[in-house]
Chain A
Amino acid sequence: MSLNKMSLGRLVGEQYLFKWKAFAGVFNSMVALQLLAIVFTWGGTGMHGTSMGNVSLWMNYYSTDGVIGLTLVWVFFTSILITTKSYRNDDYLFITNRLSSNLANMAFLLSASTVAGLTAVFSQYLIQMIQYLRGNTFLTEALPLTTGEWLSGTAATILYVLFIGTIGYFIGNVVQLHRMLIIIVPVGLLGFLFIYDFNEPGFVSLYEFYFRETAFGLFAVKIIGTVFLLFLANILVSNRQEVRK
């Protein structure tokens, strides 16, 4: 019998296609969460009222921030989910090694982030439509974004989703290293949220580094660079892992 030869590139391609099928369920939860967030915008995401003499002024804000926020939460948990035993073992039913499995997962995360980022951005049109039907025509009459603004906004959203997804994927892989970490990592993270002073200069500069960057090109380089480093760390972390336990 001849040996079955499979190049890494072809294998990763097959695994990627397989993942679109095997992980299809994750998009159901994405749609559900995004629709939920859209419903929350029904009466506006912010309100402001003032009156001077006999003139009173009411302002309603409508934004896709909620949709994007829930999308980030979704991608975080989804990317942890795909590192768990039953999802991870899917690859080992067929041909794989740890490297190809990681590459295919990252390719999937990249595509899932693109899909989720795009639907989150497009949710603004749904929100506008809902408001229009409610008789609130201001939103649709507002000045539309320029193509450049729209593109950079969309790309930035996708990059944020990818960024959070990669962090989730890394946390998931670290947790898989040892049974104890399943407790230690979430407790540590939660404890960190309570105890840590987020006004500390170190955190502030980290926050500003990623989230206050105004030049889109520089922002993209920072996010893509971080994603790449985290991805390398993933390969190192999972390369010695035993599977199908």
Chain B
Amino acid sequence: MNMVECDRLTKKQGSVYALNELNIQIKKNTITGLIGRNGAGKTTLLKILAGLWKPTTGHVEVLKVNPFNSLTVSANVAYINDEMDFPNALTLSEILQTGKRFYGNWDSQLAERLFKYFSFNPNQLHTHLSKGKASTFNMIFGLAARCEITLFDEPTTGMDASVRKDFNRALLKDYLAHPRTMIISSHHLEELEEVLEDILVIKNGKALLHEPIDVIRNYAIGLTGRSELVRQWVTNKQVLYTEDVGANTCYAVVKNEEIDIEKAKRLGMQVTTVSASDVCVYLTNQTTGGIDDVFK
């Protein structure tokens, strides 16, 4: 069953297309990583799915209904981002109590335990939290709300490395105990890779790739060798990235299809795997060269 369906979803902001005829389907009970560079349209997509913004054209369905202004969607979709400004009249523990009053599936026990684990002060105000602490608190709120669909928009902003690790584990454990549909956006796949099942890569408002993470891991291979040889070898293939790595040596990342790896090795080229996170970086680059090309 699809929890989210977008058909030629377009969102125009001023003269810029934040989303441009985006087509996606997200299945029930999956954790999807929404990966894209800054300005690719991640936040726009999530806000439309949460029913906060309305699309310019195209069709969108969340839980089988149009999300904009829908009570069903609001009650069953938690949208967590770093702009949540809780009112200053409420302390952190009062915010959690309010959450319990609103969300029917609210998990007080989980909220309390995480609250203690991350050593929050119940009487503190949300505005007085540091960036990382606020992100952690919002994460607790999002997990405890236990909504059918949970959208995390760059949830780890400002978190330090150990909190980030804890966040991933908490997310995974809670997901295993209470399966639901989650979409987590990030511009950096590496820090989330261990929890994700599917990857949705978007670039310039379009879905570039939507595959299980294993497919992405085998999506491309890296070839290193004498420049002319590598260049000749990769013509007519889909090249994701090239880089000069030394005098007369070149590294190229190509899509892993119709590549005769054995032959490449025999010709003296080094064949390496490319991590899922690197694949995403190369796919979302605007050009096949890197920042080095700017300084040429």
Contacts and interface: CB of A to CB of B under 8 A. Distances in A.
A89 B85 CA distance: 8
Contacts, number: 84
Contacts of B266: none
A4 B104 contact: yes
B84 interface: yes
B247 interface: no
A8 interface: yes
A86 B85 contact: yes
Given A95-B75, A97-B69, A90 B52 contact: no
A96 B72 CA distance: 9
Nearest to B179: A1
A24 interface: yes
Interface stretch (A15-23, A37-45, A50-58, A159-167): A15-23
Interface in A154-198: none
Interface stretch (B87-95, B186-194, B210-218, B248-256): B87-95
A98 B71 contact: no
Nearest to A242: B53
A96 B86 contact: no
Nearest to B99: A94
A244 B47 contact: yes
Contact of A4 (B85, B87, B98, B103): B103
A93 interface: yes
A135 B2 CA distance: 79
Size class of the contact patch on chain B: 35 or more
Contact of B84 (A8, A22, A93): A93
Size category of the binding interface on chain A: 20 to 34
Given A4-B103, A14-B102, A22-B87, A95 B146 contact: no
Interface string A92-128: 1111111110000000000000000000000000000
A5 B89 contact: no
B33 to A, nearest CB: 21
A81 B83 CA distance: 20
A82 B127 CA distance: 19
Interface in A51-103: 86, 89-90, 92-100
A21 B147 contact: no
B128 interface: no
B54 interface: yes
B84 A25 contact: no
A4 B53 contact: no
Contact of B52 (A6, A8, A92): A92
Contact of B74 (A14, A22, A89, A96): A96
B108 to A, nearest CB: 15
A89 B79 CA distance: 13
Given A4-B105, A97-B71, A242-B54, A25 B89 contact: yes
- Chain A residues touching B, majority SS: loop
A22 B103 CA distance: 18
Contacts of A4: 75-76, 103-105, 147-148
Nearest to B138: A93
B146 A97 contact: no
Contacts of B147: 4
Interface in B92-114: 94, 98-99, 101-105
B70 interface: yes
Contacts of B102: 6, 11, 14, 94-95
A97 B69 CA distance: 5
A243 interface: yes
A111 to B, nearest CB: 16
B178 interface: yes
Given A97-B69, A98-B69, A1 B89 contact: no
B59 interface: no
A99 B180 CA distance: 28
Interface in B185-226: none
Contacts of A11: 71, 102
A10 to B, nearest CB: 10
B71 A244 contact: no
Contact of A97 (B74, B148, B179): B74
